[in-house]
Amino acid sequence: LAKTTQPISMDSYEGQEVNITCSHNNIATNDYITWYQQFPSQGPRFIIQGYKTKVTNEVASLFIPADRKSSTLSLPRVSLSDTAVYYCLVGDPRYSSASKIIFGSGTRLSIRP
Amino acid sequence: DTEVTQTPKHLVMGMTNKKSLKCEQHMGHRAMYWYKQKAKKPPELMFVYSYEKLSINESVPSRFSPECPNSSLLNLHLHALQPEDSALYLCASSQDGQGQSEQYFGPGTRLTVT
């Protein structure tokens, strides 16, 4: 199973760009990389997903190098409401009829005014 | 409708009680999941249902019993729980059971076992 490693916590200020890196050295060929955001006492919320190179949506960008052993979630111009825990996951496709997702330990992001 | 609903929001039960957690989605998703999350920890996968069949059981104790009556509903039956089972129980669904499917999570049920 692909295991992920993330920084435990990060601090930043409103208006800054925040980059959170996740390492997944034993990612499998068919695994995708997914990031979720979680606020206290709520379920996680999907942010972005990618397989290789760069993916961008309206809230974030995901950078994946050619070896796919790491990935970086980039949040442009953060605000106080981006304070949350961010989880990096890789999908395990071994089960052809089901999904097995292992959440990493998560990065607690704190944004200050 | 991109919502996963869970009931109840909060549940307090004694160690001898039997209770059930309920989860519902109307997005036509064919995979549904139960997770357990302790404070300041990541969610831990408990069960996965794919096309209404139990496909993954992560060595969960038998005091937790999942049930998928139909493609929109997922239950978690609880019996003889221990205080250490107190946690946030999250339900999620995805379009299919493949690893690259985005999961939609419900708000969770906060369970306290006394």
Residues of chain B neighbouring A106 (CB-CB closer than 8 A): 42
Chain A residues lying within 8 Å of B56, measured CB to CB: 95, 98, 100
Structure tokens at B48: 């996965």
Residue B38 backbone dihedrals phi, psi, to 5 degrees: -85, 160
Residue pair A24/A49 in contact (Cβ under 8 Å)? The answer is: no
Taking contacts as CB-CB distances below 8 angstroms, the residues of chain B near A95 are 48, 55-56, 97
The answer to which of A15-19, A72-76, B36-40, B101-105 has the lowest mean pLDDT is B101-105
- Which is more confident, A97 or B42? B42
Q: Which of B98, B105, B107 sits opposite A99 (nearest CB)?
A: B98
Which pLDDT band, with edges at 50, 70 and 90, does B102 fall under?
Answer: confident
Instruction: From chain B, pick out residues whose CB is under 8 angstroms from the CB of A104.
Output: 42
Cβ pair A100:B45 closer than 8 A: yes
Of B5, B98, B112, which to mutate for an interface test with A (greatest number of A Cβ within 10 Å)?
B98
Residues of B with CB under 8 A from a CB of A: 4, 31, 33, 42-45, 48, 50-51, 53, 55-56, 88, 90-92, 94, 96-108, 110
Nearest CB among A41, A92, A105 relative to B99 is that of: A92
Query: Which among A61, A35, A56, A58 has a CA at the least distance from the CA of A46?
Result: A35
- HSE on the CB side for A97, CA within 13 Å? 8
Report the pLDDT averaged over residues B12-16. 92
> What pLDDT shows up at residue A1?
52
Q: What would the mean pLDDT of B11-39 be, rounded to a whole number?
A: 94
Which chain B residues are closer than 8 Å to A51 by Cβ?
100
* Nearest chain B CA: its distance from A44 CA (Å): 6
Banded model confidence at residue A58, pLDDT cuts 50, 70, 90 = very high
Share of chain B above pLDDT 90, in %: 75
Position A96 confidence tier, pLDDT thresholds 50, 70, 90: very low
Instruction: Report the mean per-residue pLDDT for chain A.
Output: 89
Separation CA A82–CA B60 (nearest Å):
34
Residue A98 has pLDDT above 90, yes or no: no
pLDDT reported for residue A97: 40
Q: What are the CA-CA distances from residue A105 to residues A73, B1, B7, B14, B39 (Å)?
A: 15, 30, 27, 30, 12
Report pLDDT for B56.
78
Question: Phi/psi zone of residue A24: left (φ > 0), alpha (ψ -120 to 50 degrees), beta?
Answer: beta
Q: Is the pLDDT of residue B2 over 70?
A: no
What integer pLDDT is reported at residue B41 of this predicted model?
Answer: 93
Subunit contact B55:A97, Cβ cutoff 8 A: yes
